[in-house]
């Protein structure tokens, strides 16, 4: 018995020593490798953060100016405004005053609807200049002298540098958007431009909103050699700012490259990117000490965790080195059976020691796995229904916004009373949305569509002709609520409305065998092949769409997802179209009577 005890003790020591060595070698090796590599990873991490902030800031600026510049097309929504700008003959005083007042009212309305603008100035084919209330027309031509007119006339929108506006009603720092009016008739070799004035404070707020997302990183924005924004105003004085700008002006390396500069005895990391639309340089910076502190902090944590893990491993080696392994074979056998897919195998081992507890844990694990599998099946079913409800709820609210603005504009400008028609239609739509079931008859859905079209016809002064090609025998069939409205809404918003003139919308519903074939076709601006491919990808692969900034197609994704989830993969939604010829959306759903 003594001999057996000695052998057991020797095996225990060897087992414990082997266990400690196995744990110690990778821990020490990882610590050495980690110490050599982690600093570069930390540095690279901050570089990525700064580059991401650069890209995000540049994207925010580009989107901001792109959205604002669309207001320069305001005259395309009113034929009289366009005719005023296209007049080539000299005007008498009364005619000029009348045109000027009409143009000013239109531009003032744009300012009221867009709080980001503080002034609009526009010139016509005969050199006359019109402006909104509060805009200084005297800045238009001096700003044009600073810009390449050839590129302006090629269609490029230019953003001015920040300048001080001295006009009484529009004082302070201002940035202007300049666009050549190439869409006017007879514009060739004429100096016709639109100028949109924006308070620079709004742009500073844009920069501030992005830079506040990471308080450790500072932001500098320059226009040429002029500083226009610094997120941390006390970080550098004027001389240090000049030193930084001088370096980036002289270097020949590419943007987004991490560089290190010594400023006032302290090291800083900088990255730069160029915003193509404004020509502004966006520079992100972070003190090197922050990177060093992050490195030291994480290395210290890793050392402490490694020591705790090593200590825990040693304790576990002592505790578990005396265990016997024979009773585990039966458990391994059962586990192989479970691995083949059967969850009905339980180990019948009645023990009160640690092995018994292991067996009990195994049996409990199998029970939980079986329960988890059943829950997963139920969860998938619930998730599918939840996704259906969620997709149905994602209705784009811009239609309501446009409608309310139209009601307000009609009431204030024209002082007429078509409001009752719009209010009644809108009320019916809300009642339909709140009280209707998830599935309605096609007749009910068409009434909803007609309410929507009534409002749009009032908005656009009956410029659009609506053609209904619907078999009467399909009105009793069932359809998911709000399945058609996103398609109709897209036809107005992306097709007919940007077209500017009159248009036609066709809604066709036909029964073909046991299915319903639905077609929505417009003769709007159409769609390019590249855009059509992008929409197809966004519908078929929603995860790709999220990565490619795709909120433009959420209505089509909703419709397609609802059709697939509710009716099945054999039913579909298809989109065809050509640029300047119109767009056609077709869908196929089963012909089902309402339950």
- Which range has the top average pLDDT, 9-18, 215-224, 263-272, 527-536? 527-536
pLDDT in tens, 249-277: 776 555 567 788 888 778 888 888 888 88
Q: Which residues contact 21 (CB under 8 A, 6 or more apart)?
A: none
Quote the CA–CA distance of 195 and 177 in Å, as a whole number.
5
Count CB atoms within 10 A of the CB of residue 59.
13
Tokens of residue 329, six digits: 């074979």
Q: Which two tokens stand for residue 560?
A: 């397609």
Pair of tokens at residue 241: 């700012």
DSSP states along 167-181: ETTEEEEEEEEEEE-
pLDDT digits (tens, 9 = 90+) for 516-530: 999 999 999 999 988
Residue 130's closest CA among 166, 80, 171? 80
Helices (H), 340-412: 354-393, 398-409
Q: Which two tokens stand for residue 338?
A: 């479970």
Torsion angles phi and psi, residue 260, rounded to 5: -120, 130
Rounded-to-integer distance, Cα 120 and Cα 133, Å: 8
Is residue 426 within 8 Å of residue 472, measured between CB atoms? no
Cα dihedral 397/402/404/406 (nearest 10): -170
Task: Give dist(CA 250, CA 140) in Å, integer.
Answer: 32
Selected residue with higher pLDDT from 457 and 328: 457
Q: Report the candidate in 539, 462, 537, 474 with the shortest Cα–Cα distance to residue 503.
A: 462
Residue 132 vs residues 83, 135, 194: alpha-carbon distances, Å: 18, 6, 12
Which tokens go with 128? 């006359």
**Residue 484 Cα distances to 270, 444, 517, 571, 585, angstroms:** 52, 11, 12, 15, 10
| Distance between CA atoms of residues 249 and 278, nearest Å | 17
Closest CA to 502 of 469, 450, 462: 462
H-type alpha helices, 394-523:
398-409, 419-435, 442-459, 485-490, 497-499
Q: What percent of the chain is predicted at pLDDT more than 70?
A: 76
User: Nearest to residue 351, comparing CAs of 376, 331, 378, 380?
Assistant: 331
Mean pLDDT of 78-99: 84
Encode 524-536 in three state secondary structure: CCCCCHHHHHHHH
Which tops the pLDDT comparison, 484 or 225? 484
Q: Are strands 158-159 and 163-167 parallel, antiparallel or unpaired?
A: unpaired
- Whether 498 has a pLDDT exceeding 50, the answer reads yes
Q: With a cut of 60, say whether residue 151 has pLDDT above it.
A: yes
Q: Given the structure tokens 């409205």, which residue do they identify? A: 485
What are the structure tokens assigned to 551, written together?
């909120």
Predicted TM-score (pTM) above 0.75: no
Query: Which of the residue ranges 285-294, 372-381, 480-489 has the most confident prediction, judged by mean pLDDT?
Result: 480-489
Contact, 520 vs 484, CB < 8 A?
yes
Q: How far is 462 from 372, CA to CA, in rounded Å?
A: 59
What contacts 260, CB < 8 A, 6 or more positions away?
267, 268, 269, 270, 288
Lookup result for tokens 């006009």: 167
- Asked if the model's pLDDT at residue 352 lies above 60, the reply is yes
**Rounded average pLDDT over 428-433:** 70
- Looking at residue 420, what is its pLDDT? 67
Q: Residue 121 pairs with which residues in a beta bridge?
A: 131, 195
CA distance 433 to 395: 11
Across 388-413, average pLDDT: 53
pLDDT tens-place string over residues 519-561 = 999 999 999 988 888 888 877 765 444 444 444 455 787 788 8
224 Cβ neighbours under 8 A, 6+ residues apart: 161, 279
């Amino acid at each position: 018995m003594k001999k057996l005890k000695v052998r057991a003790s020797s095996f225990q020591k060897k087992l414990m020593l082997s266990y400690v060595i196995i744990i110690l070698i990778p821990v020490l090796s990882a610590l050495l490798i980690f110490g050599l590599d982690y600093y570069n990873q930390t540095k690279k991490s901050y570089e990525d953060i700064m580059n991401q902030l650069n890209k995000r800031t540049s994207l925010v600026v580009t989107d901001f100016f792109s959205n604002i510049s669309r207001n320069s097309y305001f005259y395309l929504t009113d034929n009289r405004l366009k005719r005023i700008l296209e007049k080539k003959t000299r005007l008498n005083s009364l005619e000029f005053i009348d045109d000027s007042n009409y143009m000013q009212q239109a531009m003032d309305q744009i300012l009221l609807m867009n709080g980001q603008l503080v002034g609009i100035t526009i010139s016509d084919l005969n050199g006359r200049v019109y402006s909104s209330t509060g805009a200084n027309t005297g800045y238009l031509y001096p700003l044009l002298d600073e810009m390449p007119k050839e590129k302006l006339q090629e269609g490029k929108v230019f953003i001015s540098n920040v300048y001080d506006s001295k006009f009484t009603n529009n004082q302070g720092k201002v940035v202007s958007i300049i666009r050549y009016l190439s869409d006017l008739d007879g514009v060739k070799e004429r100096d016709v431009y639109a100028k949109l004035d924006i308070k620079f404070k709004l742009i500073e707020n844009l920069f501030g909103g992005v830079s506040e997302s990471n308080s450790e990183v500072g932001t500098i924005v320059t226009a040429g050699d002029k500083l226009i924004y610094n997120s941390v105003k006390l970080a550098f004085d004027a001389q240090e700012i000049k030193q930084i700008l001088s370096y980036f002006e002289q270097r020949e390396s590419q943007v987004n490259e991490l560089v290190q500069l010594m400023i006032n005895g302290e090291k800083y990391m900088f990255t730069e990117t160029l915003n193509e639309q404004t020509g502004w340089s966006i520079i992100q910076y972070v003190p090197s000490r922050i990177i060093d502190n992050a490195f030291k902090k994480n290395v210290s944590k890793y050392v402490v965790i490694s020591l705790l893990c090593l200590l825990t491993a040693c304790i576990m080696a002592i505790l578990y080195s005396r265990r016997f392994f024979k009773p585990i074979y039966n458990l391994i056998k059962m586990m192989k059976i479970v691995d083949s897919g059967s969850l009905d195998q339980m180990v019948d081992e009645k023990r009160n020691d640690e092995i018994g507890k292991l067996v009990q844990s195994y049996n409990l694990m199998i029970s939980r796995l079986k329960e988890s599998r059943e829950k997963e099946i139920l969860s998938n079913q619930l998730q599918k229904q939840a996704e259906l409800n969620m997709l149905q709820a994602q209705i784009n609210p811009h239609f309501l916004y446009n409608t309310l603005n139209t009601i307000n504009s009609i009431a204030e400008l024209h002082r007429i009373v078509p409001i009752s028609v719009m209010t009644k239609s809108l009320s019916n739509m809300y009642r339909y949305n709140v009280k209707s079931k998830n599935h309605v008859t096609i007749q009910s859905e068409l009434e909803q569509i007609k309410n929507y079209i009534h409002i749009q016809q009032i908005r656009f002064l009956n410029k659009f002709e609506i053609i209904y090609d619907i078999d009467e025998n399909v009105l009793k069939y069932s359809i998911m609520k709000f399945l058609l409205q996103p398609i109709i809404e897209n036809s107005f918003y992306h097709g007919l409305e940007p077209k500017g003139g009159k248009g036609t919308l066709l809604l066709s519903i036909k029964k073909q065998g046991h299915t319903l074939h639905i077609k929505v076709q417009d003769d709007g601006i159409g769609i390019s092949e590249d855009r059509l491919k992008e929409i197809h990808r966004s519908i078929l692969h929603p995860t790709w769409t999220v990565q490619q900034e795709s909120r433009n197609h959420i209505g089509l994704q909703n419709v397609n997802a609802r059709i697939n989830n509710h009716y099945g993969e054999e039913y579909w939604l298809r989109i065809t179209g050509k640029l300047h010829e119109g767009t056609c959306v077709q869908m196929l759903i089963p012909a089902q009577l309402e339950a």
